[in-house]
Structure 1
Amino acid sequence: MSAAALRGAVDLSSLRNRPAGPAAEAPRPDGQVTPLVVDVTDATFGQILELSRTVPVVVDLWAEWCGPCKQLSPVLEKVVTELAGRIVLAKVDVDANPQLAQGFRAQSIPMVVALVAGQPVPLFTGAVPEEEVRQVFAQLLELAAQHGVTGTVPVGDADGEPESPAEKPLPPLHQAAFDAIEAGDYAAAIAAYEKALAENPRDEDARAGLGQVRLLHRTQGLDLNEARAAAAAAPTDVPAQFAVADLDIAGGHVGDAFDRLLDLFSAVEPDERSAVRERLVELFGLVGDADPRVIAARKRLATLLF
């Protein structure tokens, strides 16, 4: 990340001058005790923009139905807390705040963007390991310093004690999967989530986590250019098309991935269609049933099936 990254990559102009909501909903750079993790709405976003002139603000765009979001959020909160006021985390529920989701062009979540001196800085999309979050935040602090944003916010009460209650620990198998993901051992994470689902088939967090880590496992070590060349050379080769679709999903190109697999479904022999349909259904689960791109792709798949 360089100083050149600080640019208007997303359009936040419509939200800059909105009236602020209650002061308790957003942090204040006024010397008072400030929470490091805050929920932000369309109405309170103006205060967050102002705060970003004092301290970098990391914006976490998430939704309740998003499994990868639930994986990533505790990592973001942990790292922000350790930085002790040098960064504030602003959480945006995209379902409840459509104007912010549109302003940040949130085509895939979780999506993480920083604000430095009122300007957006894209960081990453998707759940990433804790070590990568630390590296990105370190680069963000360097970039902020280049633009004169070097302040901190006061945290804790008068005795220096934190105000936030301790986070609820993850279930043991979820924690095992999370630790394995941080270590880059995706096979172990898959095994942990599969065991969690075997014990409780209704564990939707485990199901979402399993889909995400399977995607990480499949795309590990893949080269996008090589994968695209292989897919172009063999339009009906199912593994080659799967590889590009996985990379597109991981990179936030959701519509491209769905279109590729739907075209493949139409082109392959009948005995290969079941695998293509299963991969589509798996990716639908990753993106979320309420996503309009999933709804459109499901309709097209139904047309192809019947």
Structure 2
Amino acid sequence: MAATVSLSFSLDPQHHYLSHNAHFKPHQTFPLTTSFPIPPKHPFLLPHRYNRYASKSSSSSSHSTPSTDTSLSYSEDPFRTGRFLSNEELEKLKLLENFRYGQELESGSLSVRVMRAEEMDDIVALLADSFAESMCWPSGYLSLLRFLVKQYLIERRALIPHTATLIGFYREKKENGALEEEEEEEEDEEQLAGTVEVCFDIRGANASPPTPTAPKNSPYISNMTVKNSLRRRGIGWHLLRASEELSSQMSSSREVYLHCRMIDVAPFNMYTKAGYNIVKTDSILILLMLQRRKHLMFKKLPARRIPSDISDSDEE
């Protein structure tokens, strides 16, 4: 039987609501909860080599580019799962491969896409360091924590396309008088900004879900993390929006869920502003298990627009 360790992440990139925890340095994260199991050995294949931070994204408002081409050759698939996929899964895998979300921010631009295999170690470090700092774990436990997080991500990756880990890249704006040479170096200045995980259906649901338990057939958002140096730039907000947009494409369910700890007021306000409402709250008895009480929050996603609806944009 697989051993599990329950992990909770809590911080918010847009607010200084943890002033009493000023020792948080490397990263900051949102209060979305999960469990990191140690799974049995299973096949996992890495893709071919490529630039780990290569991402093509628009710097305009949010958008995505789904594809209906299901002729995926194994050598061209950057999201190899190590198992055979049905035609429907291949279509969704291609959609994940082509998904892009882009947004212009006041200080720069953000692009979001699905994590690739070679970027896993960076995400492991981001999640493990964030959790260790937020929970004041001794540095001696960091290597163990990274091992658990990596095993968890490997297990989750094997469930693609029923779940996906999104990563955001931030590029700071150049001054108007920047030289052309500086513009040529712009690609090198793109940096990993944050990550978030989304599961889309029951096959991608976590084996050890946090309480209160969300419906397994609906999309569920968890493990949102933003670098501490990039706080208060709207990155967390747009990681949430990107998760919702991808969920609306990958799932027929219009309901999306997430958890928020009761003590995390600022994130709760952000989720409320984004349209989330409390469904259920942990019993006080959860404190006996040395866990923080959490809200299960829910949002009804709007129906996807079809081309015939675009003519109604005058009302908007």
Which structure carries more helix by proportion?
1
Give the structure with the larger strand fraction. 2
- Provide TM-score, normalisation by structure 1: 0.25
Structure whose CA Rg is larger: 1
Q: Which structure's relative contact order is higher, taking Cα pairs within 8 Å and 6+ residues apart? A: 2
> What is the TM-score with the length of structure 2 in the denominator?
0.24
